[in-house]
Amino acid sequence: MLKDHVRRYWDRQPCGTQFTELPWGTREFFTEVERFRYRVQPFMHRLIGFERYAGKRILEIGCGLGTDLLQFARAGAQVTGVDLSPRSIELTRQRFALEGLSGTFLVADAEALPFEGESFDVVYSFGVLHHTPEIARALQEARRVLVPGGELILMLYHRHSLHVWLGTPLYAAQRLSRERRVRGFRLVWETFRELLRRGSWWQAEWVRVYDGEDNPLGRAFSRAEVRTLLQDFQEVHLRLCDPIRRRFPDWVNWLNQRFLAPIAGFFLLARARK
């Protein structure tokens, strides 16, 4: 079953663990994970505004290591985190215990949340639901557990982005070079033919491997598709952002953050109300 593959994959490497070699669960490990996350995604505090939710009941779907949920808790929110990965929930509990903060953390499926309706003021899910097989069902569940007027904060990968436009042909060429042992003009020609024949497949593969070669499921959506997914919500607002690209020099990242990310970023951030 696909969902079981997804669970096993993220249980082997909870999101964030791949960016440090420190022992899992130590204070130093969590500090490094947090430092890395907000250095590579410097827009997070500005766009999410964690401090604005003091006293609110927050549910994070796919809490990972609890890094974002911790920001809400530090600001005084009442937090609940769920994740398909038992290891992620275990690490989130350790993280909060080290901070001396309280919260509720459960292993749960985004497509069948274990909560009564109208239980939360805010449902937050950043970079998670594009990994669940039935995203429409997960969003129905998010809406169900929100109070009337409650807020959804959602990030999904964006299909019409520089990451996808530029990365897909480069990824196809790299794979073809390795698998067919071709170079030069022949590689350019075979890549061109492959993209004409199976462009959508190569695009989907490139998005999938963003979170690792063995990642069983990862998808990107257009703005129109996200609006359709959120058609039962009100006041839908979308904006784009993009992480720091560590392989590129500072000046390229500056240009990207300043000018390109707002129009062709890979992260599509949606806010909506029930």
Tens of pLDDT, residues 133-149: 999 999 999 999 999 99
Taking Cα atoms as reference points, which of 46, 42, 86, 36 lies closest to residue 64? 86
* Torsion angle (degrees, nearest 10) of CA 190, 192, 197, 201: 100
pLDDT (0 to 100) of residue 181: 85
> Is there a contact between 92 and 18 (Cβ–Cβ < 8 Å)?
no
Average pLDDT, rounded, for the chain: 96
Q: pLDDT, tens digit, for every residue of 207-264?
A: 999 999 999 999 999 999 999 999 999 999 999 999 999 999 999 999 999 999 999 9
For residues 161-189, average pLDDT: 90
Output the six-digit token pair for 126.
């950043």
Say how far residue 114 (Cα) sits from the centre of its chain.
Answer: 22
Q: Do residues 104 and 80 touch, judged by C-beta distance below 8 A? A: yes
CA distances from 227 to 65, 86, 233, 257 (A): 29, 31, 9, 24
Residue found under tokens 């937050």: 124
Tokens of 133: 């097989």
Pairing assessment for the beta strands 146-158 and 267-273 based on DSSP bridges: antiparallel
| pLDDT of res. 187 | 85
How is residue 39 written in tokens? 């250095």
Q: How far is CA 221 from CA 129, 158, 227, in A?
A: 11, 5, 10
Please state, in angstroms and rounded to a whole number, the distance separating the CA atoms of residues 222 and 202: 17
Q: What is d(CA 135, CA 221) in angstroms, rounded to the nearest whole number?
A: 11
Question: Which residue has tokens 């509720």?
Answer: 104
Q: Determine which of 13-17, 30-34, 120-124, 254-258 has the lowest per-residue pLDDT on average.
A: 13-17
Half-sphere exposure of 221 (CA within 13 A, CB side): 23
Contact by Cβ (8 Å): 91, 66: yes
Distance CA 82, CA 116 (A): 14
Give the per-residue pLDDT at 82: 98
Percent of the chain topping pLDDT 90: 91
The CA-based angle 130-132-134, given to 5 degrees, is 105
Note the pLDDT of residue 83.
Answer: 98
Report angle CA 233, 67, 120 to the nearest 5 degrees: 35
Distance CA 130, CA 157 (A): 7
The CATH number of the structural domain formed by 2-158+222-273 is: 3.40.50.150
d(CA 62, CA 60): 6
